[in-house]
Amino acid sequence: MARVFSGIQPSGGMHLGNLLGALRNWVAYQHEHDAVYCVVDLHALTTAPDPAELRDNTMAAATMLMSVGIDPEQSTLFVQSAVSEHAELAWMMECTVGFGELRRMTQFKDKSDRSDFVSAGLFTYPALQASDILLYDTDLVPVGDDQRQHIELCRDIAERFNRRYGDTFVVPAHVIPTAGARVMDLQNPDDKMSKSLESAGTVGVLEEPEAVTRKFKRAVTDSDNEVRYDPEAKAGVSNLLGILASATGRTPESVADDYSQYGPLKADTADAVNELLTPIRERYRELSSDPAEIARLLATGADKARAVAAATLKRARDNAGLISRAPA
Alpha-carbon gap, residue 204 to 208, rounded angstroms: 9
**Is 111 among the residues known to form the active site?**
yes
**Is 266 among the residues known to form the active site?**
no
Backbone angles phi, psi at 226, to 5 degrees: -105, 125
**Is 234 among the residues known to form the active site?**
no
Catalytic residue among 195, 215, 234, 266: 195
Q: CB–CB of 168/162 below 8 Å?
A: yes
Q: CB–CB of 297/290 below 8 Å?
A: no
Concatenate the DSSP letters of all residues of 259-310 into one string: -SSHHHHHHHHHHHHHHHHHHHHHHHHHHHT-HHHHHHHHHHHHHHHHHHHH
- Write b or e for each residue in 236-274: b if 16 or more Cβ atoms lie within 10 A of its Cβ, otherwise e: bbbbbbbbbbbbeeeebeebbeebeebeebbebbbbbbb
Q: Which of 267, 266, 254 is nearest to 189 (CA)?
A: 266
Concatenate the DSSP letters of all residues of 15-67 into one string: BHHHIIIIIHHHHHHHTTSEEEEEE-HHHHGGG---HHHHHHHHHHHHHHHHH
Alpha-carbon gap, residue 321 to 154, rounded angstroms: 22
Backbone angles phi, psi at 38, to 5 degrees: -145, 160
CB-neighbour burial class of residue 197 (10 A; exposed 0-12, middle 13-18, buried 19+): middle
Question: Residue 256 CA to chain centroid, in angstroms?
Answer: 28
Catalytic residue among 109, 111, 234, 304: 111
Alpha-carbon gap, residue 201 to 109, rounded angstroms: 23
Catalytic residue among 192, 215, 234, 266: 192
Helix/strand/coil for 8 = strand
Q: Which of 178, 202, 204, 179 is nearest to 192 (CA)?
A: 202
Residues that are catalytic:
111, 192, 195
